[in-house]
A and B are shown apart, each in its own frame.
Chain A
């Protein structure tokens, strides 16, 4: 049980760290998709199957495609990416310091806190109960999420489409 968790964690954290370290953007995007798949595996390990498949559908299926399209649409010459300016290196070092310090603080806080012993078995949830919960207790939130997704879709389309028209007007 714990061994499987450690294996999943190594996959998840390793691919995420490699994605943030690599200089090739496509490799980074593919490794991040692997990391999201690792998160879905963690959900499966924890017994939250519905969330795991939602994660696979949304992240591994949809967001990964959007990210890959954005990477390919905004591709530029690789030479500029290979240059490492001193300011960039300084920023990377300070960012790494901030991340390491935050990790140390949070890890010490977690290790020094005592939680009550967990329940013996995983809470029994089937898809029917999740659906009833969503529709009955969280119906308003579900509607609002639908509105947010619609507005985000419209906004994304407007943002990505109107700029081209303005550019065409700008260039005589």
Chain B
């Protein structure tokens, strides 16, 4: 097994942990954090292919990851602001009980 296989398996594990958490937990913050874990797994793949892939030219993989981190930061900020807004409105952030958004 080459190091690239190992890196891809590790990122698969991280992605599936994030997916399971996002689907299973009922707390909205943990769902958001599960999505962040999936984004991190994708970034791991970028770096793995940049380092061990066949065409290792330039810094393309790193630049991809930098942009992905920036987008993830924006997404986390907006998501957590939404969670705080919903909590102010309904005094609850469990997914089952915030089933209606209007009013």
Contacts from A to B (Cβ < 8 Å): 1-2, 5-6, 9, 12-13, 16-17, 19-20, 25, 28-29, 32, 35-36, 39, 42-43, 46-48, 50-51, 54-55, 58-59, 62-63, 66-67, 69-71, 73-74, 76, 80-81, 87-88, 91-92, 94-96, 98-100, 102-103, 106-107, 110-111, 115-119, 122-123, 125, 129-130, 133-134, 138, 141, 145, 148-149, 151-153, 155-157, 159-160, 163-164, 167
| Residue in A6, A66, A91, A115 whose CB lies within 8 Å of B76 | A66
Cβ-defined contact, A20 with B43, below 8 A: no
Given contacts A134-B63, A148-B71, contact A70 B26 (CB under 8 A): no
- In the complex, A106→B15 CA distance in Å? 10
Does the CB pair A32–B37 fall under 8 Å?
A: yes
B10 to chain A, nearest CB (A): 4
A112–chain B nearest beta-carbon distance, Å: 10
CB atoms of A155 and B81 under 8 A apart: yes
Nearest-neighbour CB distance to chain A for B92, whole angstroms, equals 7
* Alpha-carbon distance between A91 and B31 when the two chains are bound, in angstroms: 13
Are A67 and B69 interface neighbours, CB within 8 A? no
The CA of A51 and the CA of B91, in the complex, are separated in Å by 38
**Contact, CB under 8 Å: B24 / A95:** yes
Residue of B6, B29, B62 near A71 (CB, 8 A) is B29
Who on chain A is nearest to B26 by CB?
A: A88
Contact with A74, one of B62, B74, B76, B83 (Cβ below 8 angstroms): B83
- The answer to whether A141 touches B78, judged by C-beta atoms less than 8 angstroms apart, is no
Question: Smallest distance from the beta carbon of A155 to chain B beta carbons, Å?
Answer: 6
Can you give 27 contacting A-B residue pairs, CB < 8 Å? A6-B6, A16-B21, A16-B37, A19-B33, A20-B20, A20-B25, A20-B30, A46-B7, A48-B47, A50-B66, A54-B65, A58-B69, A67-B80, A71-B29, A74-B83, A74-B93, A81-B27, A98-B20, A99-B19, A106-B15, A115-B53, A118-B54, A123-B58, A130-B62, A152-B74, A159-B81, A160-B81
